[in-house]
Chains A and B, each alone.
Chain A
């Protein structure tokens, strides 16, 4: 029995502006009075900024309370599918926060940043080894930018060969939604192909669309359906024979880590979400790191800077070293702090650790899937093994009881669980995409199944109970429609 089910709602924390009273100060937190007149008169504010006025203790309590309201990986099981919300080891953070890293100025001479550059060089080398690719660039600052870099390299490759007709990117419908967006951003036409009833890419459909206009295919593997793509060899042969290149969306790398390598499968380019697979704090929009790896053919086009080594010295490779590069995607070395954390994590777990990550990420997902099957829930692909994640469909509960996947998701919050991903992928009706990651203990997984069973029982006995959830959080069910239509982004309208 979960104590949370009958608990009263947590009180709503007022905004800091509501706490504000004129003249209150937090002296210790005040910036020193500006003594410089460096800002020209014409650029100075005419009115005081609208800032809250609270005491130091009020500020401390306010933000402490807000932090206690967080649903986070530090406090809750967080099975948000396709997001790989694994535990972020404290040690990685600690080393990345060494003053020698923090105080390093990005414009300092390379001779004074050899330690940092050595870490980045080794990170590139480790990622090459993990993916089986020939070269790696760390500069893309998020998965989406990594994808952009990947397709931009594919385009650069065809153009360099004078092959300007190739302007189509094939995207299976089980791909991440960013894939077609990326292709469009790169000026490509998106050709969507279906997946079959078992969740595999439809090879016959692919055969019909490949040809002299094919620039490449973007494959998310394992796909968003929580299954491994089984037709890779066919798919690779079809696309390569037609003159196209193969792009591997490595956002789900956790499932294959230390087991198989996209380079060995014949892929020409991959982006990796280091913030997911290599465990840096993420969510809520960042910060990310979308390193790209390439095979032989795309080496000249890697985005700069890449870290190179001349003998004992590390240095940035720039336009002079890589004249065909697609260019610079970030001011310096991408999200350096995220890259450092990923580097430390990889050094910490090592080669054997990475294999165990792949094994336990998939074992946890398959255990959870088996438990849900036992309890009579409906997997979207009942005949398929789970990858690092899997999909349940709540369509029968929706049809028979009127309780939707969203109702289950909202009620889970009352039970102390972050909801899984809802209504993604769109291919599966009323779906929950569940990714436990390798860092959860069996007890946590069992507790989650028990909560879902309890909620299903409620749905049978009192569906209205689900419709009103959550009950224990300071904010109840939100009006999604109003929220989408009437954006309310400030505490009060600015005059």
Chain B
């Protein structure tokens, strides 16, 4: 199975993607694989602006017709923005997971932490293993 995995992003085993922005913040969402596995998304809740997150904190929720799933903070940091547009149009996560379907933005506590995340090739391996 081929996956839509932009090469400029970082990934986690728990299916989040991370984009580095020029201002030092990062944008976070769920991968194309994740949105596909979840099916039609009907609700999304993003973390409050200002909240301090530790890496691995369950801080957002994505609810589809199949299931409600936690989304985890890929790295530690302070939340600087949430994607308010998802309130009325959570389906953007399905239609444009790497664009309009972003979930929240974070000012990382330690920019170097991003280096510990997977690149597109590493994440593709994770997907291949889970598909056995």
Partners in one complex: yes
Contact of B67 among A190, A192, A423 (CB under 8 A): A423
Interface size on B, residues (CB 8 A): 13
Please, which residues of chain A bring their CB within 8 A of the CB of B40? 480-481
B37 touches A484 (CB 8 A): no
Is B42 on the interface with A (CB-CB < 8 A)?
yes
Interface size on A, residues (CB 8 A): 14
Tell me the minimal C-beta distance from A221 to chain B in angstroms: 23
Is B1 on the interface with A (CB-CB < 8 A)?
yes
| Bound form: Cα–Cα A484–B91 in Å | 12
Is A45 on the interface with B (CB-CB < 8 A)?
no
| Bound form: Cα–Cα A480–B64 in Å | 9
A484 touches B42 (CB 8 A): yes
Tell me the minimal C-beta distance from A18 to chain B in angstroms: 28
| Bound form: Cα–Cα A422–B66 in Å | 8
- Known contacts A399-B1, A429-B37; is A484 also within 8 Å of B67 by CB? no
Most buried by A among B1, B67, B69: B67
| Bound form: Cα–Cα A192–B70 in Å | 12
Most buried by B among A192, A422, A429, A484: A484
| A419-448 CB contacts (< 8 Å) to partner B | 422-424, 426, 429
B67 touches A481 (CB 8 A): no
A424 touches B42 (CB 8 A): no
Please, which residues of chain B bring their CB within 8 A of the CB of A480? 40, 42, 65
Closest to A426 in B: B67
| A390-433 CB contacts (< 8 Å) to partner B | 395, 399, 406, 422-424, 426, 429
Closest to B90 in A: A485
The 0/1 profile, CB within 8 Å of B marked 1, for residues 461-495 of chain A is 00000000000000000001100110000000000
Please, which residues of chain A bring their CB within 8 A of the CB of B65? 480-481, 484
Please, which residues of chain A bring their CB within 8 A of the CB of B37? 429
A426 touches B42 (CB 8 A): no
| Bound form: Cα–Cα A423–B37 in Å | 10
| B36-52 CB contacts (< 8 Å) to partner A | 37, 40, 42-43
| B1-21 CB contacts (< 8 Å) to partner A | 1
Please, which residues of chain B bring their CB within 8 A of the CB of A481? 40, 42, 65, 91
Please, which residues of chain B bring their CB within 8 A of the CB of A190? 58
The 0/1 profile, CB within 8 Å of A marked 1, for residues 51-90 of chain B is 0000000100000011101000000000000000000000
Please, which residues of chain B bring their CB within 8 A of the CB of A422? 66
| Bound form: Cα–Cα A424–B69 in Å | 12
For the complex of A and B, 7 pairs with smallest distance between CB atoms: A480-B65, A484-B42, A423-B66, A481-B40, A426-B67, A423-B67, A485-B42
